[in-house]
């Protein structure tokens, strides 16, 4: 899943830098998401907070920027510009979805780990015979 996120990020960056003339909008980077199998609760909560407070608003701002540019150019936009804006908008949505899915996986893994019974200590053998 992390590989998909990285590919999406690279795709957004390539699209936004390749069409510098077409858009001034800047795509946000996906936040780091900890491994729910090993990360402490505080780290997972911090990542969730970052997603909600920083990443999701940044994605929405990016998509709004694209929509605003597209509307401002209007009928004089080329087919290439329209296609680029649509690709960027869709890639931002896909990135947001992948980040949300990865965070959900992390939370599920953490909950499964927290719900698992603690491993019992090795039983001591009675050597007092």
**Contact by Cβ (8 Å): 19, 84:** yes
The predicted model gives 78-103 an average pLDDT of 94
**Would you give the DSSP letter of residue 116?**
S
More confident position, 27 or 119: 27
The secondary element (H helix, E strand) that includes residue 64 is: helix 56-73
pLDDT band at residue 117, thresholds of 50, 70 and 90? Answer: confident
**Number of other residues whose CB lies within 10 A of the CB of residue 125:** 6
In whole numbers, what is the pLDDT of the chain averaged over residues?
83
The predicted model gives 76-100 an average pLDDT of 93
pLDDT for res 77: 86
Q: How far apart are CA 6 and CA 28, in angstroms?
A: 12
Indicate if the pLDDT at residue 21 is higher than 50: no
Count Cβ atoms within 10 A of the Cβ of residue 128 and give its class: 0-12 exposed, 13-18 middle, 19 or more buried.
exposed
The structure tokens listed for 116 are 């698992």
Of 11-15, 62-66, 111-115, the range with the lowest mean pLDDT is 11-15
**Number of other residues whose CB lies within 10 A of the CB of residue 44:** 20
**28-51: per-residue pLDDT in tens?**
999 999 999 999 999 999 999 999
**Would you give the DSSP letter of residue 94?**
H
Indicate if the pLDDT at residue 11 is higher than 90: no
pLDDT for res 7: 59
Q: To the nearest 10°, report the CA torsion of 106, 110, 112, 113.
A: 140
């Amino acid at each position: 899943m992390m590989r998909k996120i990285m590919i999406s990020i690279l795709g957004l960056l390539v699209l936004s830098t390749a069409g510098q003339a077409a858009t001034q909008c800047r795509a946000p980077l996906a936040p780091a998401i900890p491994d729910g199998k090993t990360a402490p609760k505080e780290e997972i909560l911090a990542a969730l907070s970052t997603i909600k407070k920083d990443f999701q608003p940044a994605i929405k701002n990016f998509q709004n920027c694209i929509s605003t540019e597209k509307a401002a150019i209007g009928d004089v936009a080329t087919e290439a510009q329209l296609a680029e804006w649509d690709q960027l908008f869709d890639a931002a949505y896909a990135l947001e979805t992948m980040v949300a899915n990865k965070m959900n996986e992390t939370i599920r893994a953490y909950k499964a780990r927290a719900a698992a019974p603690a491993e019992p200590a090795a039983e001591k053998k009675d050597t007092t015979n």
